[in-house]
């Protein structure tokens, strides 16, 4: 179990507990449940890398305490 931080820089900063083998799509659904928005509208980035829904957190080397940027489309 790891904890990942998502920040939209507009006042919402959430800590989400998940498994390293969860996909980005699964992770977006966990974030959406906490902030009350649709998972399809969430875009996760780290610097200039936009994360794709079918790849796991471990493949992107996202570990405990990693901070991700959250945008809305």
pLDDT of residue 4: 96
Fold that domain 2-72 belongs to in CATH: Ubiquitin-like (UB roll) (3.10.20)
Domain boundary assignment for the chain: 2-72
pLDDT of residue 58: 94
pLDDT of residue 44: 95
pLDDT per residue as tens, the chain (73 positions) = 999 999 999 988 999 999 999 999 999 999 999 999 999 999 999 999 999 999 999 999 999 999 999 999 9
DSSP per-residue codes, 5-58: EEE-SSS-EEEEEE-TT-BHHHHHHHHHHHHTS-GGGEEEEETTEEPPTTSBTT
């Amino acid at each position: 179990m790891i904890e990942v931080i998502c920040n939209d820089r507009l006042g919402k900063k959430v800590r989400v507990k998940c498994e390293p083998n969860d996909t980005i799509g699964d992770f977006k659904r966990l974030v959406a449940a906490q902030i009350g928005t649709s998972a399809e509208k969430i875009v996760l980035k780290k610097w200039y890398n936009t994360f794709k829904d079918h790849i796991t957190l471990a493949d992107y080397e996202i570990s405990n305490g990693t901070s991700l940027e959250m945008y809305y489309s």
